[in-house]
């Protein structure tokens, strides 16, 4: 593939869900995994991340807390929250925190891939990569 290598951070304390997401995106991204928002923030401090998927409910910090901390550090990578407890209030809070999207768990592969592809297209204007991701 001739496209830039994007790094995708997957932060979720549910190991099975995290592994499933990583299996879906392994052919397309360099993957960085975190079991908590704190670990994710530590990783982002050391490595460039182009896109992040955060579970909303993790042990200490939520995915929304992590996004707010990233924004405070001027990290603008698109961030997607995945949650089983979707509410309009969460959607509004996520929008205020400049999250790219909030997805409901269980999320289908199609919705997840489409949302990630849209985030890459919006942030990096990389139509070739987006096409490969959607057709892969």
Residues 127 and 133: their CA atoms lie apart, in Å, by: 10
pLDDT at 1 over 50: no
Q: Which CATH superfamily is domain 7-135 in?
A: Response regulator (3.40.50.2300)
pLDDT at 114 over 70: yes
**pLDDT (mean) for 110-135:** 96
Q: Sketch the domain layout of the chain as residue ranges.
A: 7-135
Q: Where are the beta strands (DSSP E) in the chain?
A: 7-11, 30-34, 51-55, 79-83, 101-104
Q: How far is CA 70 from the centre of its chain?
A: 12
Residues 134 and 128: their CA atoms lie apart, in Å, by: 10
pLDDT tens digits, 25-79? 999 999 999 999 999 999 999 999 999 999 999 999 999 999 999 999 999 999 9
Whole-model pTM: value is 0.95
Tokens of 125: 């204007």
The pLDDT mean for the chain works out to 95
């Amino acid at each position: 593939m001739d496209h830039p290598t994007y790094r995708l951070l997957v932060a979720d304390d549910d190991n099975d869900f995290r592994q499933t997401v990583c299996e879906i995106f392994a052919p397309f991204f360099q993957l960085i995994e975190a079991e908590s928002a704190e670990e994710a923030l530590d990783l982002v401090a050391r490595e460039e991340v182009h896109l992040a998927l955060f579970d909303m409910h993790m042990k200490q910090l939520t995915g929304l807390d992590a996004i707010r901390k990233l924004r405070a550090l001027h990290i603008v990578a698109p961030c997607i929250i995945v949650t089983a407890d979707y509410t309009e209030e969460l959607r509004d809070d996520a929008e205020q925190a400049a999250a790219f999207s909030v997805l409901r768990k269980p999320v289908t592969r199609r919705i997840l891939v489409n949302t990630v592809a849209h985030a890459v297209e919006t942030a990096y204007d990389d139509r070739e990569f987006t096409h490969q991701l959607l057709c892969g």
